[in-house]
Amino acid sequence: MDKQLFPPNMSAKDKLDNLQAMAYSTEETSYFKILTQEELDERRETLTENVIKISDLEFEKKQLTEEIKAKQKPMQVQNLEIMQTLKTKSEKIEGVLYHVDDQEAGMMYSYDVNGDFISSRRLKPNERQGSMFKLNQNQA
C-alpha cells in the first residue's frame, strides 16, 4: 500500500469516514509515528525553552530556599535555647549579680539587679572575716 492513503487535500472528516468504512477492525493502542524534520525542530525548540525555564526556576527555588532558611535560623536558635531552658529548668541571663555575704551563717548569697535570689554557696576561706574576739582569746 501507499504511504499516503488519501490525497492531501481531503478533509479530516472525509479521511476518517473512509478509514472507518475500509477498516476490517479497530484497536485503541499506543504506537510510534515517524516525525518530519519540521516536527523534530519544533520539539527541539520546546525542549530548549523548557530547559531554560527549569534552570531559571531552579535558581529561583535556591534563592527562596536560602531566604526561608535565613528566616528559620533565628527561630531554630531560639528553640534550642528554650529546649535547654526546659531541660535544665533554668535560663542563662547576661547581667550583674550582687553577692551578699552572711558571715554568721558562713554563706554567700547572689541576687540579680531586681533583688531576686539567684544562688547561694559557702564562703571561701579568703571571704571569711576573722573575729576580734578570737584574736583576743589567742593572745591571752
Domain range summary for the chain, segments of one domain joined by +: 12-88, 98-139
Give the per-residue pLDDT at 76: 97
Chain-centre distance for alpha carbon 77:
12
107's enclosing H/E stretch is strand 107-111
Grid cell at residue 86: 526546659
* Cβ–Cβ under 8 Å, residues 116 and 95: no
Res 133: pLDDT = 56
What's the maximum distance between 2 C-alpha atoms anywhere in the chain? 139
CA distance 50 to 45: 9
User: What pLDDT was estimated at residue 59?
Assistant: 98
Q: How far apart are CA 110 and CA 16, in angstroms?
A: 97
Q: Is the pLDDT of residue 21 over 60?
A: yes
Check residue 130 and give left, alpha or beta (phi > 0: left; psi -120 to 50: alpha).
beta
pTM comes to 0.49
Predicted confidence at residue 129, as pLDDT, reads: 84
